[in-house]
Amino acid sequence: MESIVLFGPPGAGKGTQAQRIMDSTGLPQVSTGDMLRAAVSAGTPTGIEAKKYMDAGQLVPDEVIIALIKDRIQEADAVNGVMFDGFPRTIPQAEALSGITEVSHVIAIEVPDGKIVERICGRYTCADCGAVFHDSFNPTTVEGKCDSCGSGQFKRRADDNADTVMSRLNAYHEQTSPLADWYRLKGIFHVIDGDREIDHITEDILSALK
């Protein structure tokens, strides 16, 4: 079992790229953000605990995240590995991960801080299939109709606002970016310029995975 990690700041394009490379890798996308949002909507104890951190743009405590991942990795579709999106985000999470699954590649999508706010504030997703769009950079081809599933229902995240973005960027620089060196030392770290056309980034990721 060999997993892939998609690494980068909030709004870098991890989710967008995960959806596009899922067929080529054959690995399911495991987004801790999506799992937490599902827990918040369902009102589970994990969701209630996580919501205060998410609303404030802070990281959810490591124990909560590691417990979620340990459960998720037991599921049948994870037998050949998974594609992590937004996990690990701290050194303790990465240490826990090394005891759970082998990581073959870490794909770091780099986008300058100055571009992150507009990316996040224009983000919306299909309420039915989760496909990710952007008001100006990546709108649906037909207005009001999801390109992937045809649905007309979309949603925006409560934490995708200019105030919370600054806290999320701080959390990234202070707690998550130190992981880059950790993985670079292991020789599995690939840097991809994420400030380009979505298709070009996908091509570069697929060649890094070869």
Q: Which tokens hold the place of 75?
A: 């599921």
Under the criterion CB under 5 A, does residue 149 sit at the interface with Zn ion? yes
How many angstroms separate the CA atoms of 5 and 189, rounded?
9
Alpha-helical segments (H) within the chain: 14-25, 32-42, 45-56, 62-72, 91-98, 113-121, 162-171, 178-185, 198-208
Give the binding range for ligand ADP (CB under 6 A) out of 71-79, 87-95, 98-106, 145-153. Answer: 87-95
Q: Any contact of residue 81 with ligand ADP (CB under 6 A)?
A: no
Q: Binding residue for Zn ion (CB under 5 A) from 58, 151, 161, 177?
A: 151
Helix (H/G/I), strand (E/B), else coil: 194: coil
Least distance from Zn ion to the Cβ atom of residue 157, Å: 16
Contact string (CB under 6 A) for ligand ADP, positions 103-142, x = contact: ----------------x--xx--------xxx--xx----
154 binding ligand ADP? (CB under 6 A): no
Count of positions (residues) in the chain: 210
Stretch of residues binding ligand ADP (CB under 6 A), selected from 31-39, 100-108, 140-148, 182-190: 31-39
**Residues in CB range of 194: below 8 A, 6 or more apart:** 8, 12, 13, 109, 110, 111, 201
- Which is nearer to ligand ADP, 72 or 134 (by Cβ)? 134
**Residue 28 and residue 2: Cα distance in Å, rounded?**
12
Near ligand ADP by CB under 6 A, which window of 40-48, 50-58, 70-78, 182-190? 50-58
CA distance 117 to 113: 8
The answer to whether 201 contacts ligand ADP (rule: CB under 6 A) is yes
Query: CB under 5 to 8 A by kind: which of Zn ion, ligand ADP, none does 36 bind?
Result: ligand ADP
Phi/psi at 53 (5° precision)? -70, -45
Upstream peptide bond of 88 is cis (omega within 30 degrees of 0): yes
| Contacts with ligand ADP, residue ranges (CB under 6 A) | 8, 10-16, 32-33, 36, 53-54, 57-60, 65, 86-87, 89, 93, 119, 122-123, 132-134, 137-138, 168, 194, 196, 198, 201
